[in-house]
Amino acid sequence: MRIAVVRETREGETRVALVPDLVPALVAAGHDVLVEPGAGRGALHADEEYAAAGAALDERAVEEADLVLAVQPIDVATARRLRRGAATVSFLAPGQELALVADLRDIGVTAYAMELVPRISRAQSMDALSSQSLVSGYRCAVVCAGLLRRFFPLNMTAAGTVPPAQVVVLGAGVAGLQAIATARRLGAVVKAYDVRAAAAEEIRSMGAQAIELDLPTLDGAGGYAREMSEERSALQRELLAPYVAAADGLITTAAVPGRTAPVLVTAAMVEAMRPGSVVVDLAADSGGNVEGSVPGEVVRLGRAQVWGGRNVPAQMPGPASRLYAQNVVSLVQLLTADGTLEPDLDDEVLDACCVTHDGVVRHAPTRELLEGVR
């Protein structure tokens, strides 16, 4: 099978879908790996590294491929270069990329969306949402420490004692737990909150204090939180307000793929923070957990700086690409048998993440959206 690795074309995307270290795994399985020249440049991987690992550099890799690997959804022009019967693996955001999904359907391309891989035990090695959230959580804590104009750790000196920074993390999924762990390693005192029942114990296991509000938990499917009513959301913000006001740094990480992020913190709550405080909103790209945050920008609300995350994993393309590439290789191994593309679409993992196949949109929510559009 011929596997193509494309150059990412979306603004700000520095990751690559396959790193040189993992090329030999695909070659050993009998595949030909074709890499568009410059595909790894943003992640600091030179063309020569791919060639040395056993890949062929090929500007026409997409046209020749049986399977195309990407990070972001390929653009429509690239999709139209694919041959009928080819397949793609990438993040796809099908609900926002309806024109692309329709093209892939009409061309007869099978498209697998990495964000739709189910969160079950046997699919952990393919869980790109978790691997990229790990990178994002680390990055958020480092950004918070960098913007905050004071020490994170306690310092006791002959000149006096400097108390540690107080950091609050809202959301304790993969990103939130990594933000907690990193802030703790840097020496901050960390408190955290999540609406899910199991989160409090996970927060404590990272050495942080769990914020406990007198509110019912909201556990949903797939390890995510259920949507909350506006009344419950308002009460939660009211109860969190004192914790936010007392924080030197606030990191918010609550996001669910394909949905608008919940507003956890109002502008008024930020304006009540102390001078020099820092707010890091990881969910700014999907609407924002913090009212007034702007993706890719640092804005001032009251006396605090608010950093809005924009494609945060791409800000650390080396580790993000390495982890994503391993997720992709694991999925490719599930898709293939004896060196050929032979997906079993009755398999629960492939059934969940296959968006288009054989001229049909298989992902029901996307199909319903398309039928409403056309």
Nearest CA to 89 among 63, 34, 54, 126? 126
Catalytic, 124? Answer yes
What six digits make up the tokens of 194?
């999540």
Catalytic position from the list 41, 75, 130, 367? 130
The SS3 of residue 144 is: helix
**DSSP-assigned letter for residue 339:** T
Q: Compute the Cα dihedral for 210, 190, 284, 95 and give only its sign.
A: negative
Q: Which of 47, 219, 224, 237 is catalytic?
A: 224
SS3 122: helix
Q: How far apart are CA 53 and CA 172, in angstroms?
A: 38
Q: What is the C-alpha separation between 49 and 68, in angstroms, rounded?
A: 20
224 catalytically annotated = yes
Pick the closest to residue 233 from 275, 291, 285, 286 (CA basis). 291
- Which of the residues 122, 124, 150, 205 is marked catalytic? 124
The catalytically annotated residue of 127, 194, 248, 281 is: 127
- Cβ-based neighbours of 351, under 8 Å, separated by 6 or more: 345, 362
Distance CA 109, CA 82 (A): 8
Long-range contacts of 225-229 (CB under 8 A, 24+ apart): 225/194, 225/195, 225/196, 225/254, 225/256, 226/195, 227/259, 227/262, 228/195, 228/262
Phi, psi of 172 (to 5 degrees): -125, 45
Catalytic residue among 2, 80, 81, 119, which? Answer: 119
Taking Cα atoms as reference points, which of 52, 47, 61, 50 lies closest to residue 3?
61
* Amino acid letter, 222: G
CB contact burial 113-141 (16+ within 10 A = b; e otherwise): bbbbbeeeeebeebbbbbbbbbbbbbbbb
Does residue 315 carry a catalytic annotation? no
Q: Look up tokens 């500007």; give the residue.
A: 59
Maximum separation of any 2 CA atoms in the chain, in Å: 73
132 is catalytic: no
Cα angle 179-182-184, degrees, rounded to a multiple of 5: 105
Catalytic amino acids? Answer: 119, 124, 127, 130, 224
